[in-house]
Structure 1
Amino acid sequence: MSLHVRRTGPLATVQDRGRTGLAHLGVPRAGALDAPAAALANRLVGNGPDAAVVEVTFGGLELTADAGAWVAVTGAPVPVDVDGAARGHAGAAWLPSGSTLRLGTPREGVRSYVAVAGGVTVAPVLGSRSTDTLAWVGPPRLEPGAVLPVGPSTRGPAAHDTPRPPRPGPLRVRPGPRADWFAPGTFAAMCRAPYVVGEASDRVGMRLEGPRLERVREGELPSEGMVLGAVQVPPSGLPVVLLADHPPTGGYPVPAVVEEDDLWRCAQLRPGDLVRFTPA
């Protein structure tokens, strides 16, 4: 079967768990920004953990099925309907042949995930079906008229009582490798300061606005490897949390790194949302 894209909203891409192990070749990781939400969507429709899903930014996606299939929507809560009939969030729903699945605008959060039983089976590139929005490796961003092939379903849908454990409060961070490029006490000061998510944030990085971090070393840092969650500080002094599509290397100093288990929260923070850090 196939899913036919009618509308996409601001941005819709195909994502799986990303192309890991290629950073030494200069290839970004990509993959679903909210990995727990994408994994839950796959479990709900009986897919394995490596199945590709559609990541939808700020809703607006419409897909028409040419054969019946189970689908599930997770992540940012959005109104979901099939041919105008409301369907639930974070549960499996039957999408009959010829019917259209529609996602509205999320009430909170940013990114929703649509899984279909059998998984989206666009051709993999370097071992992954993920779209990398930095270098545009992998399948292109979805546009109206695109056709998404779907693999055979091997298991039926299953209920999963696996709500995401809430973790309100600050993002946990550990000290980074370049504390000596900043004034003494910078890590502690960053953990006390309020920041706001900037409008320019995307899948590459969450750009923050707020108190500037003071550098005490001038000049350029030789480009070095960057990990997911690294908090880079460009010459502006404003931190940038590197996300799934970040470049494998960078030349700005890193005073802190966000805990991996908290990164999904960065995927759901909107421009204008308050961000605080705390030592891990």
Structure 2
Amino acid sequence: MIQVLEPGVLTLVQDLGRPGWAHVGVGRAGAADAGSLRLGNRLVANDDGAASLEVLLGGLRVRVLYDSTLAVTGAPGPVWVDGTPVAHNAVLELAAGAELRVGTSPVGLRSYVAVRGGIDVPPVLGSRSTDQLTGLGPPPLAAGDVLPVGPAPDRWPVVELAPEHSWPTHVVLPVQPGPQADWFDDGLAVLFAHEFTVTPATNRVALRLSGTAVPRHEHRELPSAGLVPGAVQIPPDGQPVVFGVDHPVTGGYPVLAVVRGRALDRLGQVRPGEHVRFVVG
């Protein structure tokens, strides 16, 4: 079991989400950076989709109530065990009563804390993930929460440390044309030619961008249509909105482009104030 001492800005339980429910209005949700969640689980020998903690901008402090194996991945901020700095992307063995603290990274947005056995909160529609748009899943962590941990898998970690990858200062998102690309006057050309800034009005539902407005020549109403993660929607003000893991399942503004699946994890690590460019994917 894990006791939450300080939850930080926002810490959520996340796994790989709940696919297959969009037809009844429930999105997939899941980790915003699924690759980092998978890496943490592999380090502690869990199944890839075991529930972990998604930590926004650091600040999490927890105590393990039993001997535990953990790993911290994602945004590469400092990590301490009982005040001693320890490695990121590494297998961490904590004795009962030890405290883990996750600091704020200078790059990226979300870190992931995996524990051997997985966070064993009750699943909802087959997933333990928190969906902030619908309210499904466990609430954000609060000080004093005690989280159950599932039984340890039979296998053991086979590595002690995973290599770090680079964190570029300029975010480049590859896209393909969206279903309403022909509604715009050279909309894709405008999108590719300019840099956009991520605004503070950004969360797991969507990245909201500011920059050169994308003009559109077709002004008729669009019936509500299905959406996918990475959809680049253009509202009337022409400022792009890029949908994330907690996106609504339908939307009424035209979709100019869609971020390629291979870049969705990077999308989950973009911080407000950073600059984004779109390229042909």
Which stretch has the larger CA shift, 219-228 or 199-208? 219-228
What code does the residue aligned with 2:120 have?
T
What code does the residue aligned with 1:133 have?
Q
Which stretch has the larger CA shift, 139-148 or 52-61? 139-148
Q: Tell me whether 1:149 sits opposite 2:151 in the alignment.
A: no
Partner of 2:50: 51
Q: Distance in 1 between matches of 2:100 and 2:164?
A: 23
**RMSD, matched Cα:** 1.4
Could you tell me whether the CA contact under 8 Å between 1:70 and 1:157 is conserved in 2? no
Q: Distance in 2 between matches of 1:7 and 1:157?
A: 28
SS in structure 1 opposite 2:129?
coil
Partner of 2:244: 243
**Alpha-carbon displacement from aligned partner over 1:94-123 (angstroms, at most 9, x marks no partner):** 111011111111121110000000000100
Partner of 2:98: 99
What code does the residue aligned with 2:59 have?
G
User: What does 1:144-183 correspond to in 2, within 5 Å?
Assistant: 144-154=143-153, 155-159=155-159, 161=162, 163-164=164-165, 170-183=172-185
Partner of 2:254: 253
The CA deviation at 1:215 is: 1.7
**Any unmatched runs of 5+ in structure 2?**
none
Could you tell me whether the CA contact under 8 Å between 2:227 and 2:251 is conserved in 1? yes
- Structure 1 residues 71 and 118: CA distance shift in structure 2, 3 A: same
- Structure 1 residues 162 and 104: CA distance shift in structure 2, 3 A: closer
SS in structure 2 opposite 1:247?
coil
The CA deviation at 1:165 is: 7.5
Task: Give % identity.
Answer: 50
**Alpha-carbon displacement from aligned partner over 1:168-209 (angstroms, at most 9, x marks no partner):** 7621000000012211x2112201111011111100001111
**Alpha-carbon displacement from aligned partner over 1:259-279 (angstroms, at most 9, x marks no partner):** 010111111111111100101
Q: Distance in 2 between matches of 1:33 and 1:119?
A: 18
- Structure 1 residues 275 and 145: CA distance shift in structure 2, 3 A: same
Q: Distance in 1 between matches of 2:266 and 2:118?
A: 24
Which stretch has the larger CA shift, 185-194 or 11-20? 185-194
The CA deviation at 1:156 is: 2.3
Q: Tell me whether 1:195 sits opposite 2:199 in the alignment.
A: no
Partner of 1:131: 130
- Between Structure 1 and Structure 2, how many residues are aligned? 278
Q: Distance in 2 between matches of 1:145 and 1:234?
A: 42
Could you tell me whether the CA contact under 8 Å between 2:90 and 2:162 is conserved in 1? no
Which stretch has the larger CA shift, 160-169 or 122-131? 160-169
Q: Distance in 2 between matches of 1:48 and 1:162?
A: 20
Q: Distance in 2 between matches of 1:139 and 1:236?
A: 35
Partner of 1:209: 210
The CA deviation at 1:161 is: 4.5
Query: If the length of structure 1 is used for normalisation, what is the TM-score?
Result: 0.96
Could you tell me whether the CA contact under 8 Å between 2:64 and 2:99 is conserved in 1? yes
Which stretch has the larger CA shift, 138-147 or 163-172? 163-172
What code does the residue aligned with 2:98 have?
S
Q: Distance in 1 between matches of 2:228 and 2:270?
A: 20
Partner of 2:230: 229
Could you tell me whether the CA contact under 8 Å between 2:27 and 2:246 is conserved in 1? yes
**Alpha-carbon displacement from aligned partner over 1:126-167 (angstroms, at most 9, x marks no partner):** 000000011111111111111110011123223164655778
**Any unmatched runs of 5+ in structure 1?**
none
Q: Distance in 2 between matches of 1:86 and 1:158?
A: 23
Q: Distance in 2 between matches of 1:217 and 1:92?
A: 54
Q: Distance in 2 between matches of 1:20 and 1:164?
A: 28
